[in-house]
Structure 1
Amino acid sequence: MSDVSPMVYEILSEGAEPLSAAIDIEDGAIVLHSRGGTIGSYSERNRDYSEALRLILTRTLEARAVLRGIWVDSARTRHLPGADRIILASSEFVGSPSDLFTLISRRMQAIGRSSTAQTTRGNSNKRIRIEVEGKSRSQIERMLSAHIRRESGSPRGRLSADTLYSVTAEHVREAVLDAIENGPDPAFQESRQYDLIAGDGIRLPPKAVFGRAATLALGFRVLPEHFSAGEGEPCFKILRAAGFGIVPKGEVERAVPVLSREDLSWAEGDPRLVSHLKRERHRGLPAAKRAEFRRIHGRLFCELCGLDPVIQYGGPEGEACIEVHHALPLAEMAPGHETRLSDVECLCANCHRVVHSQMSQRSRFAGR
């Protein structure tokens, strides 16, 4: 593995202005990073994705380069065979850049979409890999008018522990989901010693995940030189506090109980209710919801009965009774459903138990 951090490029527009669209360039390939984040906020990334893709197509055609194919390259799809990820084959690289752009955008929507999805629409701004035959990295740089992206606004030197502790579980969860969908920030190397366990067999480099979370929290791009990762460092402490396990490379994480006996008694063996409960215990979800709730409301309280645990129990320890419940109806949670923070709510332990009892009764009644 190379000790040199990968370089991220940007494409210059026809007016020689850098576009907000990150790309990787290697011998024979271009990787266009996905667009994402909240529009207009700091979390927005690669807002010029569409313009960049059009320019890549235009400049590749003008250079009469031979395209070997275009594939979706997100972490969620890499386990699929190449034939299931391909967007455009070499023989289809004909027509105008505008026609090709429309075809590529339409085809990528379906790749990686759940077979049970309720809509035929999908994401047309995914991370994609474009392979170009016989072109070196330097040749592709010149062909695309691409330059190594210069970072601006990032401070020099290490960030203090107090600054790093601005990162909340909400930031961490968003960073994990981003890394799963789009891959870790290429400025960070692959982890050599530790893996962050994201669930479903997915392992991610902890430092890269924390760098993305810190970027969301602090409002400037946080890079590898800004902090250390390892046992005892704020990075690992914050990631674990957000609900994610970190283990040495090759080590299996110790079993973490997902459901208690009491949980299972509420579900009464109903597979749908068991699945519902597991969604509530999904890695990072409870901590992220509590962090979001505190940010919006300033404190935790029960959304059903209004109980304020700090007042009720005379101290912050009372917040332990606030639990996270998946409010979305079972019928609306198809396999592969991605749980958002808006899908869950904060309930006190008593209300949570009552709600699950009601769900169990409804489920049993529906099965008759």
Structure 2
Amino acid sequence: MAHEILSENETPLSATIDIEDGAITLHSRGGTIGSSNERNRDYADALRLILARMLNANVDLLGIWVDSAPTRNLSPADRLILAPGEFDGPFESLFTLLSRRMQKVGRSSTARTARGNSNKRIRIEVANLRKADLGRILSAREVSQGKSQRGRLSAEVLNRVTADFVRQAVFDTIDSGPDPAFGESREYDLIAGEGVRLPPKAVFGRAASLALGFRVLPRHFSAGEGELSFKILRAAGFQIVPKGQAEPEARELSREDLFWAEGDLKRVSHLKKERARGLAAAKRAAFKREHGRLFCERCGIDPVAQYDGPEGEACIEVHHAVAPVAEMNPGHRTSLNDLQCLCANCHRVVHKLMD
């Protein structure tokens, strides 16, 4: 079974290894950089981590050999790139030594390039360690069948990115700009406010980093129409449009909202702010994560129990409880702590009391 190496912050590297009792095989890097056929792009980072973790664990090394198909007709002595007595000192020195020796193995004497390949398939043999022990020392995990070898995060993991993380990522991106690893969006804009457009993949990457606790990079997920990242951004209340397309008109209040407002401009303004992009979805997500379920903060009704199913959650609405709408300046940012989760009945009562 193939494994992948996890970095110090548990980000999966794009580097496949095979683990067996007493041995590790690091697959070669290959394919065109940046293309769909690129494989094991984090080869160098993975090799550094393997060496460092083996040194820290005082692993008894038996040797490291080049194990690529073109070199298997060579003797073990001709493929050896690190002997047991050389496994000492800082791992960066070992990495440099391995890379230099790896370039020479199997290299033709008539080769035109000055340097050989330093990203070859290699086999590392150790003494007295079972497969499970090696996996633990290396912080490696099995790659499930059908999983991309490029470190893609599964749908189960990406679905941990809830609306509150998306909303915070939008604010952070407005304040400090997108993560430089993502660059500018070429096809789509996320509408973050009047005149504010952000690259949707960069926003989702920041939201995922907040939700998962490690830096999520472009290679960890896909973006575009039909992709889960776009579905999560839209479910959080944000619109995504093709570049150059005019910003869609803000959603109008429903006839029921207008009846509820009774023509009061202040009430209409209040309701529109409660419908602000991402606000209600973010509050519901944060409330549910904190309490494990949605319920009315005023009367305590549990909508799932009351209506015998998750559809009952539709009756929980989000109310702007703290900051007076009339006193809000343009660009005011509402804290989720300023909001309440109320059932529809209590919400209407509260708005009547506002009169």
- TM-score with structure 1 setting the length: 0.54
What is the number of residues matched between the two proteins?
Answer: 207
RMSD: 1.9
Pairing of 1:2-17 with structure 2 (within 5 A) = none
Give how far 1:329 is off.
4.9
After superposition, residues 1-368 of structure 1 pair within 5 angstroms as 157-330=151-324, 333-336=327-330, 337-359=332-354, 362=355
Report the Cα distance in structure 2 between the residues aligned to 1:301 and 1:333, rounded to whole angstroms.
29
Measure the CA separation in 1 of the matches of 2:263 and 2:194. 22
List runs of 5+ in structure 1 lacking aligned partners.
1-152, 363-368
1:249 Cα offset (Å): 0.6
In the TM superposition, residue 236 of structure 1 has moved relative to its aligned partner by 0.4
One-letter amino acid of the counterpart of residue 343, structure 2: C
Does the 8 Å contact 1:197/1:204 carry over to 2? yes
Q: CA contact under 8 A between 2:152 and 2:221: conserved in structure 1?
A: yes
Which sections of structure 2, spanning at least 5 residues, go unmatched? 1-138, 142-149
Alpha-carbon distance between aligned partners in 2 of 1:219 and 1:269, rounded to the nearest angstrom: 46
CA separation of 1:331 and 1:215: change in aligned 2, threshold 3 A:
closer
Q: Secondary structure at the match of 2:341?
A: strand
Aligned-residue offset at 1:256 = 4.6
- Contact preservation (8 Å) 1:258, 1:281: no
Task: Note the C-alpha offset of 1:189.
Answer: 1.1
Partner of 2:174, secondary structure, is helix
Preserved CA contact (<8 Å) 2:287 2:294: yes
SS at match of 1:356: helix
SS in 1 for 2:189: strand
Question: Which whole-Å CA distance do the structure 1 matches of 2:352 and 2:260 have between them?
Answer: 6
Shift of residue 331, structure 1, vs aligned partner? 6.5
Aligned to 2:132: none
Relative distance call for 1:329 and 1:198 in structure 2 (3 A) is closer
Compute the displacement of 1:332 (Å): 7.1
Deviations 1:264-307 (A, max 9, x none): 23333333222211111000000000000001110000001111
Work out the CA distance in 2 between the residues paired with 1:300 and 1:307.
9
1:209-250 per-position Cα deviation (integer Å, ceiling 9, x unaligned): 000000001110001111110111111011011111111111
Tell me the equivalent position of 1:49: none
Q: Distance in 2 between matches of 1:329 and 1:194?
A: 34
Q: Secondary structure at the match of 2:268?
A: helix
- Maintained 8 Å contact 1:172/1:242: yes
Q: With the length of structure 2 as denominator, give the TM-score of the two structures.
A: 0.56
- Match of 1:221, SS state, is coil
In structure 2, the CA distance between the partners of 1:312 and 1:255, relative to structure 1 (3 Å rule), is: same
Deviations 1:91-119 (A, max 9, x none): xxxxxxxxxxxxxxxxxxxxxxxxxxxxx
Stretches of 4+ aligned residues off by more than 6 angstroms:
none
Q: Are 2:266 and 2:326, in contact at CA under 8 Å, matched by a contact in 1?
A: no
